[in-house]
Structures are given as structure tokens and as C-alpha cells.
Amino acid sequence: MNLLDLKFDNRFSNSLPADPNPENRPRQVHNAAYSWATPKAFESPQLMAFSPEVAELVGINPAEDPATLANLFSGKQLLPGMQPYAMCYGGHQFGNWAGQLGDGRAINLGEVVNSQGDHWALQLKGAGATPYSRTADGYAALRSSIREFLCSEAMFHLGVPTTRALTLVATGEKVVRDMFYDGRPQLEIGAVVCRVAPSFIRFGQFQLPASRGDLALLKQFADFTLTSHFPQLGEPCSESYAAMFAEVCRLTAEMVAHWERVGFVHGVMNTDNMSILGLTIDYGPYGWLDNYDPEWTPNTTDAERRRYRFGHQAEIALWNLYQLGSALYPLVEDLKPLEAGIALYQRHHGEQRQQMMRAKLGIETAGETTADSDFFDELRQLLAAVETDMTLFYRALATMDVATLCDSKTTDESLLQPLADCYYRPEQLGEQYMQRMGNWLRHYGTRLQQENSADQPRQARMNRVNPKYVLRNYLAQLAIDKADQGDLSLLHELFEVMKNPYDEQPEFDHHAGKRPDWARQRAGCSMLSCSS
Ligand code: AMP
Ligand code: MG
């Protein structure tokens, strides 16, 4: 399709009130859902990476000219129908109410309607300052843009609900970043990612008008979200607002269970980074578990309290849902249905988690709930007890056969043999650990035997939920290091590998290995700051 034929239907900006002030300087914006904002026209933008799947999704020809794509998706050139704007929202940051935040470096281009009639919002991240930029510049560094581009597509292919990424464009200009906030600012390459999602509405969009007592705007938001994104819930009224809340609770529970399944740590679960559609949004200092450690967070800003650590994400999502529920209260005017939404989250997340653990282990029949929970907990404790690579563990577990697991003559040592490669520090495997893991494996074998589990089909099933390839922190960092030197080969290679994360792809085995020792404490690999 010719780019000029792309059809835009900008529901968000057509339906909701615009900020009448055209000035582009940092300020508080009241009684408006967004401000008009013009992307900066970078002189020589260059296309660095492109997702043909996302292009097809929105109706762009995957063979489109790279220079045209670079101009369009850096914001230099606008298509007819694009009406760029920045959204106004607030949020809780690290548990504290932060007031107005808004799209400080995101500029929405509009909503494309594809041939199936689906709306896809296009959003540039890093295309210049908006009224919500506060003291920052509105730009993004290449390193964080590579991380967002690669991870959003990797997450999609893993089956995790997420915003997508269409393009990664180098702006041709430098940005100044003090990566570790230690007074050593450096010039970095600037970039823009074009993100794509059915909607970029966040919890914070409801919170800001609620905090200001602007019930008219709050209602407009809720009505818009309901009719555009949850039309099945009916016309706006107290009951449908509550039903929408319950639906957000359900979607959020599923998103978090997926994160737990693949070992993803978001890193900044502030309420402004929570999507109303339960999509993973705003890839900042996120990370992937190498060794299973529920206490781990990659975010240096959160290093002390670890509010957003891996094992705390479900609780934080719940806390965030409470904030959304409070914001919606003036519309629902009844606590009961909101509490029901919260209860639904807890129940649904619990069930999802049990189901997910069964799927990861290839178990088909649910056991007695408490017994199952104890069995799964014991495994999680074992994984954390010695440094165990989570991704490798589940793939190795899938290779085991019931006969060996159930053979009473098998020693602990030989039972653990197939797992040998999952351990970071083999010297940590003391006798006590071996015995405990041996017992767990035998218990596992019995479970499988009870349901007459056949080895081959079980392995295939397990390998469909336990990825072989995840975007390990050090892999993304290696791609960044190369791209900084002008070599995009690893960026492109990882992008391809991550499209089939559950497949063996033996030619890419070297991207499926344990984190190398050099990456243990290296910036970008184990620690990331919010500076981006
Ligand atoms: P984050 O934690 O990345 O979600 O960012 C929190 C807030 O800061 C959001 O309102 C962002 O739009 C804004 N922000 C982050 N980085 C920049 C930047 N370089 N320029 C302008 N605004 C930014
Ligand atoms: Mg954000």
C-alpha cells in the first residue's frame, strides 16, 4: 500500500479535549487530555531497524523505502491525517504521588486504521520536547532505544502482551546523558523508536483528573476508554465503569503471570507505566533473570528498596490497581464492585500462576491446590538456593524422562546430571542441595507417572512455554556496543533470533547460553539507570 493511502482515524484526539495553549514549554495543563506537539525535524535521520510484521499490521508495505521510513518515523515528515500530540497524565513514582507527568518525550502521530478495520496508535519516543518534558530534553539515547525496539518485539514473540515497535531510527544528532548520575555527562547517539499499540492510555491518565477533582475530564476519559477499547461492556454507567476496572484487573493479572513465566523484570512499575489494556509498556531499565532470583531488579534507582524486584511484581500491580480503583471511584460511586475487581485480580493471578507453573513443568492435571503450591514453592526455593539459570533449567528439565526420574536406583548425582549446565557456580551444589533437588525431581517424576505422561509430547509442550532464547541483558548490551561503533549486525541478528524464541535454532546456540562471567557486574548487563 502507498503510504499516502494510510487511513487515519484519530479517535483519542478527536474525542477528547485538547489543550488550547499552543506553546511548547513545560507547564501544568488543566482540563485537557493532550497538547498538540510537533516532532523535531531532524536533518538526517537514518533507519537502523524495522519490523516488517508490525508494518504489515498497520498496513505499511514491508519493502517501503528506508529513507522514507526514516523521515516519517523520526517525525521529520508527516503524512496527511497525522495530527501529532502529547498526552497529559500523572502517576505514582516509586510509591509517591508525582502529580502531572505526561508524554515528556513521546509524540503520538495518530491512529491508523488497517484493512481489517483495527485502530493502531503510532507513537514516536524521543522526537523532541513537549509541554510535559519538565526539565528534560524530549530525546532518547540509542542504547535505550535499541533496548526498547528489541524487547518489545521479543516479548510479542514470546506471547507476552506488549506494545510493539515499528522502527528504530538514529536521529543524526547527539544527546547528553549522565548515565549513572555521577556528574560525568557524555554525548550519546540520539534515536527515535516508533511504538505501536491499540492504545497508550495509562492508569495515570485517570489518576491525574481524579487528583485534581476534575470529574468532567475523568468521565470523558472513562467514557472514551470504555467505548473505544471495551465496547463489549456496554454504554457508560456506574456498572460498566466497574466492569472496565475488573477487566483491567484481569488483563493486568495475565500480563504479570507472563512476566513471571519468562523471567522479565519491568523495573519501573510506576502507575504512569501501566497500560489500561494490560500491555507491557515503557521499556526502560528492565531486565531478564539469568540466575533465578526473586529479589533482583536491574534498576539502580531502586537498588535500595527493590520495590520493583522480580518477585514483587504481582503485589505492585495490585497496589497500582488500587490507585486506579480509587481514581475511578467518583464514577462508580460504590466500593463493592471495585473491591470485587481487586479480588478478581488476586484470584485470577493466583490461578494463572498455578496454571503457568504446571505448563512450565509439562503437568496436565491440576493437583490439590495446597499440595501443588508447596510443590511449586519448593522448586522456586531450590532455583534460588544456588545460582541457577532459570531459562536453561526449564529447557533441561524437559529433556528428562519419567523412567529415569522414577527409578529408585538413580542416585541424586546422576539425577541432576542433565541440569549440570544450568548452574553458575557448581561449587555451590552441596550434598544437602543435591538431596533436596533429587527429592524434588523424584516427586516430579511421580507426578508425571500418575498422569501417564509421555516423554516426547511433554517435552514439546514444555518447550512451547519455556523459551530457549530470551533477550538476556548482556546480549542487548553487546548489540548496543556494536551499534555504537556503527555495526548493526548483532542488533539485526538478535531481532531475528527472538522471533522464534521457543525453537531450537541450533545455529544461534551461542545466544542461548548462560550469562558470561564478565557480564555479572557490568553496567547495562546487571545494572541500569533510568537515564535514557
Ligand atoms: P519514565 O520513568 O521513563 O516512564 O519517565 C517518567 C516521566 O519522565 C514521563 O513523563 C516521561 O515522559 C518523562 N521523561 C523521561 N525521560 C525524558 C526525557 N529525556 N525528556 C523528557 N521527558 C522525559
Ligand atoms: Mg513512562
Contacts of 272 (CB under 8 A, 6+ apart): 89, 90, 91, 92, 93, 98, 101, 202, 203, 204, 282
Check if 147 has its Cβ closer than 6 Å to any atom of ligand 1. Answer: no
Identify the pLDDT of residue 180.
Answer: 80
Identify the pLDDT of residue 288.
Answer: 98
Identify the pLDDT of residue 470.
Answer: 98
125 contacts 243 by C-beta, under 8 angstroms: no
72 contacts 122 by C-beta, under 8 angstroms: no
Exposed e or buried b per residue across 338-374, where buried means at least 16 C-beta atoms within 10 angstroms of its C-beta = beebbebbeebbeebbbebbbbbbbbeeebeeeebee
Identify the pLDDT of residue 448.
Answer: 97
Q: Using CA positions, which residue lies closest to atom 18 of ligand 1?
A: 138
**Closest Cα to residue 57, out of 125, 124, 115?**
115
Identify the pLDDT of residue 334.
Answer: 98
Domain range list for the chain: 3-199, 205-359, 365-452, 473-519
Which residues are known catalytic residues? 272
pLDDT in tens, the chain (532 residues): 789 889 999 999 999 999 999 999 999 999 999 999 999 999 999 999 999 999 999 999 999 999 999 999 999 999 999 999 999 999 999 999 999 999 999 999 999 999 999 999 999 999 999 999 999 999 999 999 999 999 999 999 999 999 999 999 999 999 999 988 888 999 999 999 999 999 999 999 999 999 999 999 999 999 999 999 999 999 999 999 999 999 999 999 999 999 999 999 999 999 999 999 999 999 999 999 999 999 999 999 999 999 999 999 999 999 999 999 999 999 999 999 999 999 999 999 999 999 999 999 999 999 898 999 999 999 999 999 999 999 999 999 999 999 999 999 999 999 999 999 999 999 999 999 999 999 999 999 999 999 999 999 999 999 999 999 999 999 999 999 999 999 999 999 999 999 999 999 999 999 999 999 999 988 898 889 888 9
Using the mean position of ligand 2's atoms as its centre, give its distance from the Cα of residue 270 in Å. Answer: 8
Residues in the chain, total? 532
Q: Supply 24's cell numbers.
A: 511548547
Amino acid (one-letter) located at 464: R
Check if 285 has its Cβ closer than 6 Å to any atom of ligand 1. Answer: no
d(CA 436, CA 442): 10
Check if 105 has its Cβ closer than 6 Å to any atom of ligand 1. Answer: yes
d(CA 316, CA 48): 35
Q: Residue 85, class by beta-carbon neighbours within 10 Å (0-12 exposed, 13-18 middle, 19+ buried)? A: buried
Contacts of 317 (CB under 8 A, 6+ apart): 252, 253, 255, 256, 269, 274, 345, 349
d(CA 51, CA 151): 12
76 contacts 39 by C-beta, under 8 angstroms: yes
Which atom number of ligand 1 is nearest to the Cα of residue 130?
A: 21
The whole-model pTM stands at 0.98
pLDDT digits 0-9 by tens, 450-491: 999 999 999 999 999 999 999 999 999 999 999 999 999 999
Amino acid (one-letter) located at 387: E
- Quickly list DSSP for 140-194: EEHHHHHHHHHHHHHHHHHT--B-EEEEEEEEEEEEEE-TTSSS--EEEEEEEEE
d(CA 196, CA 50): 12
Amino acid (one-letter) located at 412: D
Check if 198 has its Cβ closer than 6 Å to any atom of ligand 1. Answer: no
**Closest Cα to residue 112, out of 139, 82, 150?**
82
Contacts of 402 (CB under 8 A, 6+ apart): 445, 448, 449, 453, 455
Check if 133 has its Cβ closer than 6 Å to any atom of ligand 1. Answer: yes
Using the mean position of ligand 2's atoms as its centre, give its distance from the Cα of residue 106 in Å. Answer: 9
d(CA 417, CA 421): 9
360 contacts 465 by C-beta, under 8 angstroms: yes
Q: Using CA positions, which residue lies closest to atom 15 of ligand 1?
A: 104
Q: Using CA positions, which residue lies closest to atom 3 of ligand 1?
A: 284
Using the mean position of ligand 1's atoms as its centre, give its distance from the Cα of residue 194 in Å. Answer: 16
Check if 26 has its Cβ closer than 6 Å to any atom of ligand 1. Answer: no
131 contacts 29 by C-beta, under 8 angstroms: yes
d(CA 148, CA 136): 19
d(CA 235, CA 241): 9
d(CA 473, CA 518): 12
Longest dimension (CA), the chain: 78
Identify the pLDDT of residue 4.
Answer: 84
Using the mean position of ligand 2's atoms as its centre, give its distance from the Cα of residue 320 in Å. Answer: 14
Identify the pLDDT of residue 526.
Answer: 85
Residues near ion ligand 2 (CB < 5 Å) are 273, 282
d(CA 120, CA 143): 26
Check if 130 has its Cβ closer than 6 Å to any atom of ligand 1. Answer: no
Using the mean position of ligand 1's atoms as its centre, give its distance from the Cα of residue 270 in Å. Answer: 12
Beta strands 90-93; 164-177: pairing state? unpaired
3-state secondary structure 366-391: CCCHHHHHHHHHHHHHHHHHCCEEHH
Q: Using CA positions, which residue lies closest to atom 14 of ligand 1?
A: 104
Identify the pLDDT of residue 2.
Answer: 86
Identify the pLDDT of residue 179.
Answer: 84
Helix, strand, or coil here: 208? helix
Which atom number of ligand 1 is nearest to the Cα of residue 272?
A: 4
Which residues are bridge partners to 299 per DSSP?
528
The alpha carbon dihedral of 433, 436, 442, 444 has a sign of: negative
